[in-house]
Structure formats: structure tokens, C-alpha cells
Amino acid sequence: MILFWHDLWCGDSSLKLDFPSLFRIARDQNAAVGNSFCCIDNNTQWNVIFIRDVNDWEVDDVKAFLERLYSSKLMLGREDSMLWIPAGNSKFSVSSFYRILTGYRSCEFPSKNTWKVKVHSKVAFFCWVVSLGKVLTTENLRRRVARFLWNEVLNWTGLLWVMPKEVVDLLVGLEGLKGSKNAVLVWKMIPSCLMWCL
């Protein structure tokens, strides 16, 4: 059963959060969506009852509330059901829940620039752990000596750059490299080698 006020079914957040003044005066604060409307001649009629008349300063809230209700599409003839929106396919997955908990970016992890680089497996593993932020030495990669080394390597090529905030951002930045096959291979090895040495 989907709760009218409490559950996320109409918009990006619950009606209780978006319309707290109306929630406080709702007669049935635990009403189900299925019990809050009726269909007359294929038209949806919302039946939300309040314990008192609406005050003048609440009219705008009521207008926005009704606009939101009438803009939502209901699937009539189907029982209420819960969907897991973050997964994209409406089915719950541990990985989608983990991404929400950790605030993990929507971009794909740059696995090619971590695991497919021609470096020793220990170096690749270290870069992977550092990019996940699971190593205490991550701060060492940003210290003055580290910054000097990064700048020296990039100055050899005549490039100007700004150190990314996260290691994973550095690895993502290597995705669009152009040039000869050998040059691209060397460029993709440089961050791994520097991180290993630091």
C-alpha cells in the first residue's frame, strides 16, 4: 500500500515534506493513494479532506498541491506497488543503494585507466584503492613534493594543468587522450607510476 502523504509517488519528494501546512490539517494523514481518489467518466477526482477550511495564506499551497496531483499519471486498475527508482529498472540492487549511501558519482569508474594500463598489478591495485579513497596516503599525493613532481612531468610536455580534487577525477581525465598508441600508453602509465613512487 502506497501512503498518500508519506511515500514518494508524486514528484521528487513526499507530499508531507513539500506541503507541511496541508499535511498538518489533513483528516487522514495515513491515507493510501488508492483511497484518495475516484474516477468519474474516466476523469480522476482527488478526494483529500482537511479538518478545517483553508486560510488565505494557504491558498497558494493548495493550488500548487492540486496542480501536482492532477499532473501525476495514475495507472488505474493496478494495485499500488513500490518501485526502486535509483536502479533505473525499478528493481532494488545493493549496488544502487551503495551509490546512494556513498554519494558515488554517476560517471563510470575509469577501470580501463586503472586495470588496463601496462603497469605491475601491485601498482594498478594501489591506484584502484587510492581512487576509492581507502588509503591514508591519499593526502600525500597532494603535498608540495607531489605537486612539484606532477608539474615537472607535465611541464616537459608544455601542458598547463590544475590538480583534480579526487584521484578518480584524474583517471577519468585520461579517457579522451589522443595521439599515437605508444604515447597514449605512456600517458596512462604516468599517474600510476607517480602515485606508486609517492
Closest among 5, 55, 56 to 26, alpha carbons compared: 5
Global confidence as pTM? 0.43
Q: Is the pLDDT of residue 16 over 70?
A: yes
* Tens digits of residue pLDDT in 36-80: 888 888 788 888 999 999 899 999 999 999 999 988 877 667 776
Q: Is the pLDDT of residue 34 over 60?
A: yes
